[in-house]
Amino acid sequence: MKDNSYQAVMDRKNEIMKQAVGIDYERFATGKVSFDYEKMMSEVGYDLDKIREIQAETAVGNTPLIELRNITKLARKLAPAGKGARIFLKDEAANPSGSFKARRASVSVYHAQKNGYTGAVAATSGNYGAAVASQSVMRNLDCIIVQEVFDSRGIGQPEILEKGRKCEAYGAEVLQLSVGPELFYTFLRVLEDTGYFNASLYTPFGIAGVETLGYEISGQMKEREGRNPDAVVVTHAGGGNLTGTARGLQKAGAAETKVIAASVDLSGLHMASDHDFNRKSFTTGHTGFGIPFATWPDRADVPRNAARALRYMERYLTVKQGEVFYLTEALARLEGMERGPAGNTSLAAAFVLAQEMDEDQIIVVQETEYTGAGKHPSAQLNFARKNGIEIRTGNPEEEVAGESIIIPAEPALIKARDLDLDRIKLSYLRNIVEKTCIKELEPVDLEFLAAEVNKTTAEVEGIMEQEFNIKMVNK
Amino acid sequence: MSELIKTGSWVEIHQVILPAGERAPQVPEDTQKVPLELRTRGFLVKDGKVGEEVEIKTFTDRTLKGILKDPTPSYEHKFGCPVPELLQVGEELRKMVADRGGNK
């Protein structure tokens, strides 16, 4: 009989994964730490035209790009003369499952079907579960979603409960777990038990599916305004949204468009803590995923994560929970669009960014998500209040994640705070050194690391030597 | 005395996946002290009672075992009452945008 203890299952991880994604990641290895990312993306994934075809079959993509005239007007009232860029919004809630995650799921589920898998499994508490479930329905596959839902009191976040309901509405088997990273253990056991496809968020299929989003933004903007946007703001968590969008923009030739990440600031909260679990009002799009995934992408549920955000991120802004709720309200009351709060993280950042940029410039907020019971500011704020979080009107600068949510007393109090990208890149390199125990660098590794942190090889060589005393060999 | 739940009913079961003390080593202290639990739903395979071990057939046709927890699982999440701090925001923004006009 199979040993199903935690350790035994984790020890079988690579074998289970190989079976469940059908990718032999080892063949992309090049040096001690490096692998050929572009080769992995091109050999395993599908090209952009094929993906557009796959997505068209299941009604994914081609979402509207909407100018937010009143929010732009508000930003201009607060900005110095001549400032206040135009803000556009890509209404990804128009996808079949209500978020951009349908793009990510579409290619995985297509691939699973084509390769004879009879079902798909995904480990996610988010919109991705609903996306895999919905796409599985369209392609006649079974679907299992493994979710982290409740704390030891049995209490679940309303937002996650709603996502679980939506998965069940599409006929998915939903396995709901209490807090803890061992969700991955349950996930592996399900893969082993069913032989279903691992519709991981982080395979080349998932990331290539998002490339169409960046590509569409460029195409729609060129058609409408005759040029590419100056900036695209992306809500950042695991890195797939940013990586896919940026790659799509590059494929559309939008080299001049800046890709800016935005996350909700949840610093100080431990993501695997039973106590902290219900003290956050955002279950995605926050720094608790954003920073760990940027600084160590391969923590994902596949050996080589195809989402590698630091390669593409040109700036990283954080906003407070209260600021995102404020913009969610603004979107409803000023633009007539009621959308889910988590997807509006990038909108909050864009509202501030617009005030820095010239009024003839263009910012695109690249997603929205559906809203509904549970997944709504009133549901989430009432829940937070019930869990002892102080909710008040004031200066969001004073907000402390897990203790308070401060709704800005006036829109001028909304800020976007720059994270030091060089420090984040240094953390990435430190993780490489600590986790791989390398003592010296080969040229192929140096080139890889330079691409990973979007710096020159000379810069990375200097950092590796000064900070970690690791020298180049075989130059 | 609990009521007999009929075969074929849509029910919720509960399992302990990892007991407290057998959690993954990287889990923080507060989480170490509690078990990893699972809940899921499906159609009851044989008549059973709340608190008993039962089998269910899930949507994917898998048979899963667990303690029958809820014989009538429901979705209880809602919108809740409007939040006063946000009601204020909407009112103020409308005035700011409508009354004073833009700079363009």
Q: With 0.90 as the threshold, say if the pTM is over it.
A: yes
Give the tens place of pLDDT for each residue, B31-65: 999 999 999 999 999 999 999 999 999 999 999 99
State residue A220's pLDDT score: 98
Q: What's the CATH number where A81 sits?
A: 3.40.50.1100
Q: CA of B70, closest CA in chain A: separation in Å?
A: 13
Stated as kind and residue range, the H or E segment containing A394 is strand A390-394
- Give the Cα separation of B11 and A271 in Å (integer): 30
Stated as kind and residue range, the H or E segment containing A146 is strand A142-150
- Look up residue B96 and give its two tokens: 């700011």
In a domain, A77, yes or no: yes
In a domain, A288, yes or no: yes
The answer to whether residues A384 and A293 belong to one domain is: yes
The answer to whether residues A298 and A374 belong to one domain is: yes
In a domain, A123, yes or no: no
State residue B99's pLDDT score: 57
- Say how many domains are in chain A: 2
Contacts with A, B 36-65, CB within 8 Å: 36-42, 58-62
Q: What residue segments make up the domains of chain B, in order of their start?
A: 10-99
CA dihedral A222→A224→A225→A231, nearest 10 degrees, is -60
Q: Is the pLDDT of residue A269 over 80?
A: no
Nearest by CB to residue B40, choosing from A176, A179, A325, is A176
In a domain, A27, yes or no: no
Mean pLDDT of A440-451: 96
In a domain, A34, yes or no: no
| Mean of per-residue pLDDT scores for chain A | 95
Mean pLDDT of A44-71: 96
Q: Pick the last residue of a domain from A376, A391, A418.
A: A418
Are residues A74 and B96, on separate chains, in Cβ contact within 8 Å?
Answer: yes
Nearest by CB to residue A6, choosing from B22, B41, B61, is B22
In a domain, A457, yes or no: yes
State residue A284's pLDDT score: 79
Give the tens place of pLDDT for each residue, A90-99: 999 999 999 9
- Look up residue A49 and give its two tokens: 């035209």
Are residues B42 and A161, on separate chains, in Cβ contact within 8 Å?
Answer: no
ipTM value of the model?
A: 0.93
CB B79 within 8 A of CB B31: no
The answer for A239, left when phi > 0, alpha when psi is -120 to 50, beta otherwise, is left
Mean pLDDT of A179-188: 92
In a domain, A360, yes or no: yes
State residue B1's pLDDT score: 54
In a domain, A388, yes or no: yes
How long is chain B? 104
Give the tens place of pLDDT for each residue, A316-330: 999 999 999 999 999
Q: What percent of chain B has pLDDT over 90?
A: 82
State residue A163's pLDDT score: 95
User: Three-class SS string for A108-136?
Assistant: HHHHHHHCCCCEEEEECCCHHHHHHHHHH
The answer to whether residues A378 and A457 belong to one domain is: no
Q: Is the pLDDT of residue B100 over 70?
A: no
Q: pLDDT class for A270, splitting at 50, 70, 90?
A: confident
CB A48 within 8 A of CB A211: yes
Q: What percent of chain A has pLDDT over 70?
A: 100
The answer to whether residues A315 and A263 belong to one domain is: yes
Q: pLDDT class for A474, splitting at 50, 70, 90?
A: confident
- Give the Cα separation of A221 and A449 in Å (integer): 33
State residue A178's pLDDT score: 96
Mean pLDDT of A417-422: 97
Q: pLDDT class for A391, splitting at 50, 70, 90?
A: very high
The answer to whether residues A437 and A357 belong to one domain is: no
Which residue in A182, A174, A115 sits closest to A145, CA to CA?
A174
Mean pLDDT of A129-146: 98
- B48-87 core/surface letters (b: 16 or more CB in 10 A; e: else): beeeeebbbebbbebebebbbbebeeeeebbbbeebebbe
Q: Is the pLDDT of residue B103 over 70?
A: no
Expressed as residue numbers, the domain containing A467 is 422-472
Are residues B97 and A73, on separate chains, in Cβ contact within 8 Å?
Answer: yes
Instruction: Please give the C-alpha separations between residue A380 and each of A102, A213, A407, B81, in angstroms, as whole numbers.
Output: 24, 28, 13, 11
Nearest by CB to residue A325, choosing from B23, B86, B102, is B86
State the helix-helix crossing angle for A377-386 and A158-169, rounded to 10 degrees: 130
